[in-house]
Structure 1
Amino acid sequence: MSAAEHWQEDLDLILHAARQAGEVAHGFFGQAPEVWWKNEGRSPVSTADFAANDRLESLLRKARPDYGWLSEETDDDVARLSCETLFVVDPIDGTRAFINGDKTWCVSVAVVHRGQPVAGVLVAPALNEEFSAVKDGPALKNDDPITVSVGHADNKLVIAADEGLVKKFDPAFREMVHRVGHIPSLAYRLAMVADGRIDGTIVKRNSHDWDLAAADLIVERAGGRLVDLDGRRLVYNRSDVRHEMLVAGAEGAVRDLLPKVAGGAG
Protein backbone atom coordinates (compact mmCIF):
# COMPACT_ATOMS: atom_id res chain seq x y z
CA MET A 1 0.00 0.00 0.00
CA SER A 2 1.32 3.45 -0.91
CA ALA A 3 1.58 6.23 1.66
CA ALA A 4 -1.25 8.10 -0.09
CA GLU A 5 -3.52 5.07 0.18
CA HIS A 6 -2.60 4.59 3.83
CA TRP A 7 -3.40 8.18 4.76
CA GLN A 8 -6.69 7.95 2.84
CA GLU A 9 -7.60 4.87 4.89
CA ASP A 10 -6.74 6.84 8.02
CA LEU A 11 -8.93 9.70 6.83
CA ASP A 12 -11.86 7.34 6.32
CA LEU A 13 -11.27 5.92 9.80
CA ILE A 14 -11.12 9.25 11.62
CA LEU A 15 -14.12 10.61 9.72
CA HIS A 16 -16.17 7.61 10.80
CA ALA A 17 -14.97 7.98 14.39
CA ALA A 18 -15.60 11.74 14.46
CA ARG A 19 -19.14 11.22 13.18
CA GLN A 20 -19.75 8.67 15.94
CA ALA A 21 -18.34 11.01 18.57
CA GLY A 22 -20.39 13.86 17.14
CA GLU A 23 -23.56 11.81 17.56
CA VAL A 24 -22.62 11.08 21.15
CA ALA A 25 -21.91 14.74 21.91
CA HIS A 26 -25.00 15.96 20.09
CA GLY A 27 -27.11 13.74 22.34
CA PHE A 28 -26.05 15.99 25.25
CA PHE A 29 -26.46 19.27 23.33
CA GLY A 30 -29.10 21.51 24.85
CA GLN A 31 -29.59 19.05 27.72
CA ALA A 32 -27.59 20.93 30.39
CA PRO A 33 -24.80 18.34 30.81
CA GLU A 34 -22.78 18.39 33.99
CA VAL A 35 -19.83 20.80 33.75
CA TRP A 36 -16.53 21.00 35.62
CA TRP A 37 -13.79 23.61 35.46
CA LYS A 38 -10.13 22.87 34.82
CA ASN A 39 -6.94 24.89 34.39
CA GLU A 40 -7.64 26.87 37.57
CA GLY A 41 -11.21 27.55 36.57
CA ARG A 42 -10.42 28.98 33.14
CA SER A 43 -11.66 26.13 30.94
CA PRO A 44 -14.93 24.15 31.11
CA VAL A 45 -15.31 20.45 30.42
CA SER A 46 -18.58 18.58 30.34
CA THR A 47 -19.98 15.07 30.52
CA ALA A 48 -20.35 15.31 26.74
CA ASP A 49 -16.61 15.97 26.26
CA PHE A 50 -15.71 12.84 28.18
CA ALA A 51 -18.33 10.70 26.46
CA ALA A 52 -17.19 11.82 23.01
CA ASN A 53 -13.56 11.26 23.98
CA ASP A 54 -14.35 7.73 25.14
CA ARG A 55 -16.02 6.94 21.82
CA LEU A 56 -13.08 8.28 19.84
CA GLU A 57 -10.52 6.46 21.93
CA SER A 58 -12.35 3.13 21.76
CA LEU A 59 -12.68 3.31 17.97
CA LEU A 60 -9.31 4.76 17.02
CA ARG A 61 -6.91 3.05 19.42
CA LYS A 62 -8.44 -0.32 18.66
CA ALA A 63 -8.05 0.27 14.91
CA ARG A 64 -4.47 1.59 15.13
CA PRO A 65 -2.90 0.21 18.34
CA ASP A 66 0.58 1.28 17.20
CA TYR A 67 -0.41 4.96 16.92
CA GLY A 68 0.18 7.40 19.76
CA TRP A 69 -2.60 9.37 21.39
CA LEU A 70 -2.96 13.03 22.34
CA SER A 71 -6.34 14.34 23.44
CA GLU A 72 -7.45 17.35 25.41
CA GLU A 73 -9.52 15.08 27.65
CA THR A 74 -6.98 12.30 28.27
CA ASP A 75 -4.04 12.56 30.67
CA ASP A 76 -0.96 13.08 28.55
CA ASP A 77 1.38 10.11 28.17
CA VAL A 78 4.93 10.98 27.15
CA ALA A 79 5.08 7.67 25.30
CA ARG A 80 3.48 9.55 22.39
CA LEU A 81 6.81 11.32 21.82
CA SER A 82 8.35 8.06 20.65
CA CYS A 83 5.52 7.45 18.16
CA GLU A 84 6.11 8.35 14.53
CA THR A 85 2.34 8.61 14.00
CA LEU A 86 -0.42 9.55 16.43
CA PHE A 87 -4.01 10.71 16.74
CA VAL A 88 -4.52 14.30 17.92
CA VAL A 89 -8.03 14.77 19.23
CA ASP A 90 -10.35 17.40 20.66
CA PRO A 91 -13.67 15.65 21.36
CA ILE A 92 -15.52 18.98 21.53
CA ASP A 93 -13.69 22.06 20.31
CA GLY A 94 -15.76 24.97 21.56
CA THR A 95 -17.03 23.55 24.84
CA ARG A 96 -18.13 26.99 26.04
CA ALA A 97 -20.30 27.32 22.95
CA PHE A 98 -21.62 23.79 23.45
CA ILE A 99 -22.75 24.33 27.04
CA ASN A 100 -24.28 27.71 26.12
CA GLY A 101 -26.39 26.21 23.32
CA ASP A 102 -24.33 27.78 20.53
CA LYS A 103 -24.09 25.45 17.52
CA THR A 104 -20.53 26.52 16.67
CA TRP A 105 -18.64 23.52 18.08
CA CYS A 106 -17.02 20.54 16.44
CA VAL A 107 -15.22 17.26 16.90
CA SER A 108 -11.61 17.61 15.75
CA VAL A 109 -9.46 14.60 14.85
CA ALA A 110 -6.11 14.52 13.07
CA VAL A 111 -3.49 11.96 12.19
CA VAL A 112 -0.04 13.47 12.69
CA HIS A 113 3.02 11.82 11.14
CA ARG A 114 6.54 13.01 11.93
CA GLY A 115 5.22 16.26 13.33
CA GLN A 116 2.85 17.14 10.47
CA PRO A 117 -0.86 16.44 9.99
CA VAL A 118 -1.55 14.00 7.15
CA ALA A 119 -5.31 13.52 7.65
CA GLY A 120 -7.79 15.74 9.44
CA VAL A 121 -11.51 16.08 10.01
CA LEU A 122 -13.83 18.54 11.73
CA VAL A 123 -17.39 17.37 12.31
CA ALA A 124 -19.95 19.98 13.43
CA PRO A 125 -23.16 18.00 14.04
CA ALA A 126 -25.32 20.93 15.15
CA LEU A 127 -24.49 22.72 11.88
CA ASN A 128 -24.65 19.62 9.64
CA GLU A 129 -21.14 20.42 8.42
CA GLU A 130 -18.07 18.25 7.89
CA PHE A 131 -14.62 19.41 6.83
CA SER A 132 -11.84 17.04 5.82
CA ALA A 133 -8.47 16.86 4.12
CA VAL A 134 -5.72 14.36 3.47
CA LYS A 135 -2.08 15.01 2.59
CA ASP A 136 -1.82 16.02 -1.09
CA GLY A 137 -5.62 15.91 -1.51
CA PRO A 138 -8.29 18.62 -1.67
CA ALA A 139 -9.95 20.27 1.30
CA LEU A 140 -13.62 19.34 1.43
CA LYS A 141 -16.76 20.65 3.08
CA ASN A 142 -19.61 18.16 2.97
CA ASP A 143 -17.69 16.39 0.17
CA ASP A 144 -17.38 19.54 -1.99
CA PRO A 145 -13.95 21.15 -2.60
CA ILE A 146 -13.31 24.43 -0.80
CA THR A 147 -10.71 27.18 -1.17
CA VAL A 148 -9.62 30.16 0.86
CA SER A 149 -10.83 33.65 0.01
CA VAL A 150 -9.54 35.46 -3.05
CA GLY A 151 -10.34 38.87 -1.58
CA HIS A 152 -13.23 41.30 -1.74
CA ALA A 153 -14.31 44.04 -4.11
CA ASP A 154 -13.98 46.69 -1.39
CA ASN A 155 -10.46 45.44 -0.51
CA LYS A 156 -11.51 44.97 3.10
CA LEU A 157 -9.66 42.26 5.03
CA VAL A 158 -12.28 40.19 6.85
CA ILE A 159 -10.74 38.62 9.93
CA ALA A 160 -11.59 36.95 13.22
CA ALA A 161 -9.43 38.42 15.97
CA ASP A 162 -9.55 39.71 19.49
CA GLU A 163 -10.77 43.30 19.56
CA GLY A 164 -7.80 44.37 21.68
CA LEU A 165 -5.38 43.06 19.08
CA VAL A 166 -7.14 44.88 16.25
CA LYS A 167 -7.00 48.14 18.22
CA LYS A 168 -3.20 47.88 18.21
CA PHE A 169 -3.06 48.12 14.42
CA ASP A 170 -2.09 51.48 12.99
CA PRO A 171 -5.15 53.57 12.05
CA ALA A 172 -4.67 53.26 8.28
CA PHE A 173 -4.49 49.45 8.42
CA ARG A 174 -7.35 49.28 10.92
CA GLU A 175 -9.54 51.09 8.39
CA MET A 176 -8.93 48.24 5.95
CA VAL A 177 -9.98 45.54 8.42
CA HIS A 178 -13.46 44.23 9.06
CA ARG A 179 -13.55 42.24 12.29
CA VAL A 180 -16.25 39.56 12.59
CA GLY A 181 -17.88 38.58 15.87
CA HIS A 182 -16.33 36.11 18.28
CA ILE A 183 -16.19 32.50 17.06
CA PRO A 184 -15.84 30.30 20.15
CA SER A 185 -14.33 27.22 18.48
CA LEU A 186 -10.81 27.83 17.20
CA ALA A 187 -10.95 24.79 14.93
CA TYR A 188 -14.21 25.98 13.41
CA ARG A 189 -12.79 29.48 12.96
CA LEU A 190 -9.95 27.98 10.94
CA ALA A 191 -12.50 26.00 8.92
CA MET A 192 -14.15 29.33 8.08
CA VAL A 193 -10.78 30.49 6.76
CA ALA A 194 -10.51 27.33 4.67
CA ASP A 195 -13.89 27.78 3.00
CA GLY A 196 -13.39 31.49 2.37
CA ARG A 197 -15.97 32.94 4.75
CA ILE A 198 -13.23 34.99 6.38
CA ASP A 199 -9.85 35.99 4.97
CA GLY A 200 -7.82 35.24 8.06
CA THR A 201 -7.58 34.98 11.79
CA ILE A 202 -5.16 35.77 14.60
CA VAL A 203 -4.70 33.02 17.19
CA LYS A 204 -3.71 34.15 20.67
CA ARG A 205 -1.03 32.41 22.73
CA ASN A 206 -1.65 29.03 24.37
CA SER A 207 -3.64 27.27 21.70
CA HIS A 208 -2.85 23.54 21.71
CA ASP A 209 -2.10 20.82 19.20
CA TRP A 210 -5.64 19.43 19.54
CA ASP A 211 -7.16 22.81 18.66
CA LEU A 212 -5.08 23.14 15.52
CA ALA A 213 -3.81 19.97 13.86
CA ALA A 214 -6.88 18.91 11.85
CA ALA A 215 -7.83 22.46 10.90
CA ASP A 216 -4.23 23.28 9.94
CA LEU A 217 -4.24 20.61 7.24
CA ILE A 218 -7.69 21.66 6.01
CA VAL A 219 -6.54 25.28 5.69
CA GLU A 220 -3.36 24.21 3.89
CA ARG A 221 -5.16 22.00 1.38
CA ALA A 222 -7.63 24.83 0.76
CA GLY A 223 -4.72 27.03 -0.30
CA GLY A 224 -4.04 28.90 2.93
CA ARG A 225 -1.45 28.86 5.70
CA LEU A 226 -1.30 28.63 9.49
CA VAL A 227 2.04 29.96 10.71
CA ASP A 228 3.85 31.42 13.68
CA LEU A 229 4.97 35.04 13.72
CA ASP A 230 8.17 34.09 11.89
CA GLY A 231 6.09 32.65 9.06
CA ARG A 232 6.97 29.04 9.91
CA ARG A 233 4.50 26.17 9.76
CA LEU A 234 3.74 24.44 13.03
CA VAL A 235 5.31 21.26 14.35
CA TYR A 236 3.10 18.90 16.32
CA ASN A 237 3.73 16.21 18.92
CA ARG A 238 6.40 18.08 20.84
CA SER A 239 6.82 17.76 24.60
CA ASP A 240 5.04 21.13 24.97
CA VAL A 241 1.85 21.08 22.91
CA ARG A 242 1.13 24.78 23.43
CA HIS A 243 1.80 27.39 20.75
CA GLU A 244 2.68 31.06 20.68
CA MET A 245 0.68 33.62 18.73
CA LEU A 246 -0.26 32.47 15.22
CA VAL A 247 -1.72 33.83 12.00
CA ALA A 248 -3.85 31.90 9.52
CA GLY A 249 -5.44 32.84 6.24
CA ALA A 250 -5.23 33.10 2.52
CA GLU A 251 -1.75 34.00 1.32
CA GLY A 252 -2.53 37.71 0.94
CA ALA A 253 -4.11 37.91 4.38
CA VAL A 254 -1.15 36.19 6.02
CA ARG A 255 1.25 38.50 4.19
CA ASP A 256 -0.67 41.59 5.35
CA LEU A 257 -1.29 40.45 8.92
CA LEU A 258 2.08 38.99 9.90
CA PRO A 259 4.06 42.24 10.18
CA LYS A 260 1.18 44.00 11.93
CA VAL A 261 0.70 41.23 14.49
CA ALA A 262 4.43 40.69 15.02
CA GLY A 263 4.91 44.40 15.54
CA GLY A 264 2.37 44.52 18.35
CA ALA A 265 2.83 41.07 19.81
CA GLY A 266 4.62 42.03 22.97
Structure 2
Amino acid sequence: MTDTFHSDRTLLEEAAREAGALALSFFRRDCQSWSKEGGSPVTEADFAVDRFLNETLLAARPDYGWLSEETADDPARRDCDAVFVIDPIDGTRGFMAGDERWCVSLAVVRDGRPVAAALYAPALDRLYTATAGGGAHAEGEAIAVSSRREVREAAIGGPKGWFRHDTMQRLGARHAPYLPSLAYRFALVADGSLDGAFAKPRAHDWDLAAADLLVHEAGGRLTSVDGQSLLYNRESLRHGALAAGNAVLHPELLAAVHGVIRDEERAGQAA
Protein backbone atom coordinates (compact mmCIF):
# COMPACT_ATOMS: atom_id res chain seq x y z
CA MET A 1 0.00 0.00 0.00
CA THR A 2 2.93 2.37 0.61
CA ASP A 3 3.69 2.40 -3.13
CA THR A 4 0.07 3.39 -3.76
CA PHE A 5 0.33 6.26 -1.26
CA HIS A 6 3.49 7.56 -2.94
CA SER A 7 1.94 7.22 -6.40
CA ASP A 8 -1.11 9.15 -5.22
CA ARG A 9 1.09 11.84 -3.67
CA THR A 10 2.93 12.28 -6.96
CA LEU A 11 -0.39 12.56 -8.80
CA LEU A 12 -1.63 15.17 -6.30
CA GLU A 13 1.62 17.11 -6.47
CA GLU A 14 1.51 17.40 -10.26
CA ALA A 15 -2.19 18.27 -10.25
CA ALA A 16 -1.73 20.88 -7.51
CA ARG A 17 0.95 22.74 -9.47
CA GLU A 18 -1.18 22.76 -12.64
CA ALA A 19 -4.27 23.80 -10.70
CA GLY A 20 -2.26 26.54 -9.02
CA ALA A 21 -1.14 27.91 -12.37
CA LEU A 22 -4.77 27.96 -13.51
CA ALA A 23 -5.86 29.78 -10.34
CA LEU A 24 -3.07 32.34 -10.80
CA SER A 25 -4.47 33.21 -14.24
CA PHE A 26 -7.49 34.67 -12.41
CA PHE A 27 -5.61 36.19 -9.45
CA ARG A 28 -5.67 39.98 -9.04
CA ARG A 29 -7.83 40.29 -12.13
CA ASP A 30 -11.49 41.05 -12.71
CA CYS A 31 -12.78 37.68 -11.49
CA GLN A 32 -16.52 37.12 -11.26
CA SER A 33 -17.80 36.08 -7.83
CA TRP A 34 -20.98 35.02 -6.10
CA SER A 35 -22.24 34.45 -2.56
CA LYS A 36 -23.07 30.88 -1.62
CA GLU A 37 -25.79 29.86 0.79
CA GLY A 38 -24.54 30.96 4.19
CA GLY A 39 -22.73 33.98 2.76
CA SER A 40 -19.31 32.56 1.89
CA PRO A 41 -17.92 33.71 -1.47
CA VAL A 42 -17.05 31.65 -4.51
CA THR A 43 -15.40 32.82 -7.73
CA GLU A 44 -15.12 31.65 -11.31
CA ALA A 45 -11.55 30.66 -10.41
CA ASP A 46 -12.85 28.21 -7.76
CA PHE A 47 -15.12 26.58 -10.33
CA ALA A 48 -12.45 26.45 -13.04
CA VAL A 49 -9.92 24.81 -10.73
CA ASP A 50 -12.53 22.39 -9.44
CA ARG A 51 -13.40 21.28 -12.99
CA PHE A 52 -9.75 20.84 -13.89
CA LEU A 53 -9.00 18.76 -10.80
CA ASN A 54 -12.11 16.64 -11.21
CA GLU A 55 -11.24 15.78 -14.81
CA THR A 56 -7.53 15.26 -14.15
CA LEU A 57 -7.68 13.24 -10.95
CA LEU A 58 -10.63 11.02 -11.82
CA ALA A 59 -9.15 10.29 -15.24
CA ALA A 60 -6.09 8.92 -13.41
CA ARG A 61 -8.07 7.15 -10.63
CA PRO A 62 -11.59 6.45 -11.98
CA ASP A 63 -12.44 4.14 -9.06
CA TYR A 64 -11.79 6.82 -6.42
CA GLY A 65 -14.60 8.83 -4.85
CA TRP A 66 -14.83 12.60 -5.06
CA LEU A 67 -15.49 15.23 -2.38
CA SER A 68 -14.93 18.90 -3.15
CA GLU A 69 -16.17 22.17 -1.74
CA GLU A 70 -17.38 23.27 -5.16
CA THR A 71 -19.04 20.02 -6.33
CA ALA A 72 -22.46 18.75 -5.24
CA ASP A 73 -21.89 15.94 -2.77
CA ASP A 74 -22.42 12.40 -4.04
CA PRO A 75 -23.07 9.97 -1.14
CA ALA A 76 -21.54 7.19 -3.26
CA ARG A 77 -18.12 8.49 -2.12
CA ARG A 78 -18.65 6.73 1.20
CA ASP A 79 -18.64 3.34 -0.51
CA CYS A 80 -15.25 3.94 -2.17
CA ASP A 81 -12.01 2.52 -0.77
CA ALA A 82 -10.30 5.84 -1.55
CA VAL A 83 -11.69 9.33 -2.05
CA PHE A 84 -10.19 12.59 -3.27
CA VAL A 85 -10.89 15.43 -0.80
CA ILE A 86 -10.39 18.76 -2.55
CA ASP A 87 -10.55 22.47 -1.86
CA PRO A 88 -9.89 24.21 -5.20
CA ILE A 89 -9.03 27.50 -3.47
CA ASP A 90 -8.79 27.55 0.31
CA GLY A 91 -8.90 31.18 1.38
CA THR A 92 -11.22 32.55 -1.30
CA ARG A 93 -11.77 35.82 0.54
CA GLY A 94 -8.01 36.40 0.62
CA PHE A 95 -7.77 35.41 -3.06
CA MET A 96 -10.42 38.02 -3.91
CA ALA A 97 -8.62 40.67 -1.84
CA GLY A 98 -5.27 40.04 -3.54
CA ASP A 99 -3.70 38.36 -0.50
CA GLU A 100 -1.08 35.79 -1.57
CA ARG A 101 -1.73 33.40 1.31
CA TRP A 102 -4.31 31.06 -0.26
CA CYS A 103 -3.78 27.52 -1.46
CA VAL A 104 -4.99 24.55 -3.45
CA SER A 105 -5.60 21.67 -1.04
CA LEU A 106 -5.67 18.04 -2.24
CA ALA A 107 -5.80 14.79 -0.27
CA VAL A 108 -6.59 11.11 -0.69
CA VAL A 109 -8.51 9.59 2.21
CA ARG A 110 -8.74 5.88 3.04
CA ASP A 111 -10.60 4.39 6.02
CA GLY A 112 -11.39 7.86 7.30
CA ARG A 113 -7.84 9.22 7.34
CA PRO A 114 -5.69 11.08 4.78
CA VAL A 115 -2.88 8.99 3.31
CA ALA A 116 -1.54 11.33 0.61
CA ALA A 117 -1.61 15.10 0.40
CA ALA A 118 -0.45 18.09 -1.60
CA LEU A 119 -1.04 21.66 -0.50
CA TYR A 120 0.16 24.37 -2.88
CA ALA A 121 0.27 28.13 -2.34
CA PRO A 122 0.67 29.29 -5.96
CA ALA A 123 1.19 33.01 -5.31
CA LEU A 124 4.03 32.07 -2.93
CA ASP A 125 5.18 29.14 -5.10
CA ARG A 126 5.38 26.87 -2.05
CA LEU A 127 4.36 23.22 -2.25
CA TYR A 128 3.80 20.95 0.74
CA THR A 129 3.41 17.18 0.36
CA ALA A 130 2.96 14.22 2.67
CA THR A 131 2.29 10.49 2.66
CA ALA A 132 1.15 8.35 5.57
CA GLY A 133 4.30 6.94 7.14
CA GLY A 134 6.52 8.80 4.66
CA GLY A 135 6.95 12.18 6.34
CA ALA A 136 6.03 15.71 5.31
CA HIS A 137 7.97 17.94 2.92
CA ALA A 138 8.01 21.51 1.63
CA GLU A 139 9.60 21.95 -1.79
CA GLY A 140 11.14 18.49 -1.40
CA GLU A 141 12.79 19.19 1.95
CA ALA A 142 11.67 17.37 5.11
CA ILE A 143 9.79 19.56 7.57
CA ALA A 144 9.01 19.22 11.27
CA VAL A 145 6.81 20.99 13.78
CA SER A 146 8.28 23.50 16.23
CA SER A 147 10.32 22.07 19.10
CA ARG A 148 9.13 24.81 21.47
CA ARG A 149 8.31 23.52 24.97
CA GLU A 150 6.76 26.63 26.56
CA VAL A 151 3.41 27.98 25.42
CA ARG A 152 4.09 31.46 26.81
CA GLU A 153 5.20 33.70 23.94
CA ALA A 154 4.62 30.85 21.48
CA ALA A 155 3.38 31.97 18.04
CA ILE A 156 -0.19 30.69 17.69
CA GLY A 157 -2.55 31.18 14.75
CA GLY A 158 -6.29 31.26 15.22
CA PRO A 159 -9.52 33.25 15.31
CA LYS A 160 -8.92 36.86 16.36
CA GLY A 161 -11.84 36.87 18.78
CA TRP A 162 -10.52 33.92 20.74
CA PHE A 163 -7.42 35.82 21.82
CA ARG A 164 -9.55 38.41 23.59
CA HIS A 165 -10.83 35.80 26.06
CA ASP A 166 -9.38 35.68 29.56
CA THR A 167 -8.36 32.07 28.94
CA MET A 168 -6.12 33.07 26.05
CA GLN A 169 -4.77 36.07 27.92
CA ARG A 170 -3.65 33.77 30.72
CA LEU A 171 -2.08 31.40 28.20
CA GLY A 172 0.40 34.14 27.29
CA ALA A 173 0.86 33.07 23.68
CA ARG A 174 1.47 35.50 20.83
CA HIS A 175 -1.36 35.78 18.33
CA ALA A 176 0.18 35.31 14.88
CA PRO A 177 -1.04 37.50 11.99
CA TYR A 178 -4.36 36.50 10.45
CA LEU A 179 -4.25 34.05 7.54
CA PRO A 180 -7.16 33.80 5.08
CA SER A 181 -6.55 30.07 4.49
CA LEU A 182 -7.20 27.61 7.31
CA ALA A 183 -5.28 24.88 5.47
CA TYR A 184 -2.25 27.16 5.12
CA ARG A 185 -2.47 28.06 8.83
CA PHE A 186 -2.04 24.41 9.75
CA ALA A 187 0.67 23.94 7.09
CA LEU A 188 2.67 26.61 8.93
CA VAL A 189 2.38 24.50 12.07
CA ALA A 190 3.73 21.55 10.09
CA ASP A 191 6.83 23.44 8.94
CA GLY A 192 7.45 25.06 12.33
CA SER A 193 6.65 28.63 11.24
CA LEU A 194 3.87 28.61 13.85
CA ASP A 195 4.14 26.86 17.19
CA GLY A 196 0.44 26.02 17.18
CA ALA A 197 -2.94 26.89 15.71
CA PHE A 198 -6.65 26.78 16.47
CA ALA A 199 -9.75 26.49 14.33
CA LYS A 200 -13.33 27.42 15.16
CA PRO A 201 -16.05 24.80 14.85
CA ARG A 202 -17.64 24.07 11.44
CA ALA A 203 -14.53 23.59 9.30
CA HIS A 204 -15.17 21.00 6.59
CA ASP A 205 -13.26 17.94 5.38
CA TRP A 206 -11.84 19.84 2.41
CA ASP A 207 -10.43 22.57 4.68
CA LEU A 208 -8.50 20.07 6.78
CA ALA A 209 -7.61 16.73 5.19
CA ALA A 210 -4.37 17.70 3.44
CA ALA A 211 -3.12 19.93 6.27
CA ASP A 212 -4.01 17.27 8.84
CA LEU A 213 -1.67 14.76 7.20
CA LEU A 214 1.06 17.39 6.93
CA VAL A 215 0.90 18.16 10.67
CA HIS A 216 0.92 14.51 11.72
CA GLU A 217 3.70 13.47 9.37
CA ALA A 218 5.75 16.47 10.56
CA GLY A 219 5.56 15.09 14.10
CA GLY A 220 2.68 17.15 15.43
CA ARG A 221 -0.91 16.66 16.49
CA LEU A 222 -4.10 18.13 15.04
CA THR A 223 -7.15 16.97 16.96
CA SER A 224 -10.64 17.74 18.12
CA VAL A 225 -11.13 19.14 21.63
CA ASP A 226 -11.37 15.60 23.03
CA GLY A 227 -7.88 14.88 21.72
CA GLN A 228 -9.04 12.50 18.99
CA SER A 229 -7.72 12.43 15.43
CA LEU A 230 -10.22 13.64 12.84
CA LEU A 231 -12.18 11.26 10.63
CA TYR A 232 -13.05 12.11 7.04
CA ASN A 233 -15.43 10.95 4.32
CA ARG A 234 -18.31 10.46 6.73
CA GLU A 235 -21.93 11.51 6.31
CA SER A 236 -21.23 14.72 8.24
CA LEU A 237 -18.43 16.81 6.73
CA ARG A 238 -18.12 19.37 9.53
CA HIS A 239 -15.78 19.31 12.51
CA GLY A 240 -15.75 20.94 15.91
CA ALA A 241 -13.13 23.23 17.42
CA LEU A 242 -9.55 22.10 16.75
CA ALA A 243 -6.02 22.57 18.04
CA ALA A 244 -2.66 21.71 16.47
CA GLY A 245 0.89 21.79 17.80
CA ASN A 246 3.77 19.62 18.89
CA ALA A 247 3.22 16.86 21.45
CA VAL A 248 4.44 19.07 24.34
CA LEU A 249 2.28 22.12 23.62
CA HIS A 250 -0.79 20.29 22.37
CA PRO A 251 -2.36 19.50 25.80
CA GLU A 252 -2.11 23.16 26.86
CA LEU A 253 -3.59 24.28 23.56
CA LEU A 254 -6.50 21.89 24.00
CA ALA A 255 -7.08 23.19 27.52
CA ALA A 256 -7.16 26.73 26.13
CA VAL A 257 -9.81 25.74 23.57
CA HIS A 258 -11.93 24.23 26.33
CA GLY A 259 -11.54 27.48 28.25
CA VAL A 260 -12.65 29.60 25.30
CA ILE A 261 -15.68 27.39 24.75
CA ARG A 262 -16.62 27.78 28.44
CA ASP A 263 -16.11 31.55 28.24
CA GLU A 264 -18.37 31.78 25.19
CA GLU A 265 -21.04 29.61 26.77
CA ARG A 266 -21.06 31.80 29.88
CA ALA A 267 -21.23 34.94 27.76
CA GLY A 268 -24.18 33.46 25.86
CA GLN A 269 -26.02 32.56 29.06
CA ALA A 270 -25.47 36.05 30.45
CA ALA A 271 -26.72 37.79 27.30
Shorter-chain TM range is over 0.9
Given that residues 163 and 169 in structure 2 are in contact (C-alpha distance below 8 angstroms), is that contact kept between their aligned partners in structure 1?
no
Per-residue deviation, residues 16-41 of structure 1 (Å, max 9, x unmatched): 1111111110100111210001023x
1:20 corresponds to 2:18: yes
Q: 1:151 to 1:74 in 2, by over 3 A?
A: same
CA shift, 1:251, in A, is 1.6
Letter in 2 for 1:220: H
SS of equivalent to 1:264: helix
TM-score, scaled to structure 2? 0.93
Unaligned runs of 5+ in 1: none
1:91 corresponds to 2:94: no
SS of equivalent to 1:251: coil
CA–CA separation in structure 2 for the residues paired with 1:191 and 1:180:
14
Tell me what 2:239 maps to.
Answer: 243
**Segments of 4+ in structure 1 off by > 6 A?**
none
TM-score, scaled to structure 1? 0.95
CA–CA separation in structure 2 for the residues paired with 1:73 and 1:257:
32
CA–CA separation in structure 2 for the residues paired with 1:68 and 1:177:
41
Q: Which of 53, 56, 59 is 1:56 aligned to?
A: 53
Given that residues 92 and 105 in structure 1 are in contact (C-alpha distance below 8 angstroms), is that contact kept between their aligned partners in structure 2?
yes
Tell me what 2:163 maps to.
Answer: 166
Given that residues 32 and 99 in structure 1 are in contact (C-alpha distance below 8 angstroms), is that contact kept between their aligned partners in structure 2?
no
Greater shift in the superposed pair: 149-158 or 27-36: 149-158
CA–CA separation in structure 2 for the residues paired with 1:120 and 1:183:
20
Identical pairs, percent: 45
Tell me what 1:216 maps to.
Answer: 212
Per-residue deviation, residues 118-149 of structure 1 (Å, max 9, x unmatched): 00010111001000000101210011111111
Letter in 2 for 1:144: E
Per-residue deviation, residues 217-264 of structure 1 (Å, max 9, x unmatched): 001011111100000000000101001111111122211111121133
Q: Which of 44, 49, 67 is 1:47 aligned to?
A: 44
CA–CA separation in structure 1 for the residues paired with 2:204 and 2:168:
32
Q: 1:171 to 1:225 in 2, by over 3 A?
A: closer
Q: 1:17 to 1:166 in 2, by over 3 A?
A: same
1:117 corresponds to 2:114: yes
SS of equivalent to 1:184: coil
Per-residue deviation, residues 144-180 of structure 1 (Å, max 9, x unmatched): 1111111179952210122321222437624x21001
Q: Report how many residues are paired.
A: 262
Letter in 2 for 1:51: A
1:103 corresponds to 2:104: no
CA–CA separation in structure 1 for the residues paired with 2:54 and 2:115:
19
Unaligned runs of 5+ in 2: 266-271
1:186 corresponds to 2:193: no
Q: Which of 3, 7, 10 is 1:9 aligned to?
A: 7
SS of equivalent to 1:248: strand
Per-residue deviation, residues 81-127 of structure 1 (Å, max 9, x unmatched): 11121000000001111111000011000000010000001011100
CA–CA separation in structure 2 for the residues paired with 1:186 and 1:59:
25
| Root mean square deviation, CA, Å | 1.5
Per-residue deviation, residues 42-88 of structure 1 (Å, max 9, x unmatched): 21100100111111001101111110000000000011111121000
Correspondence 1:247-262 to 2 at 5 A: 247-262=243-258
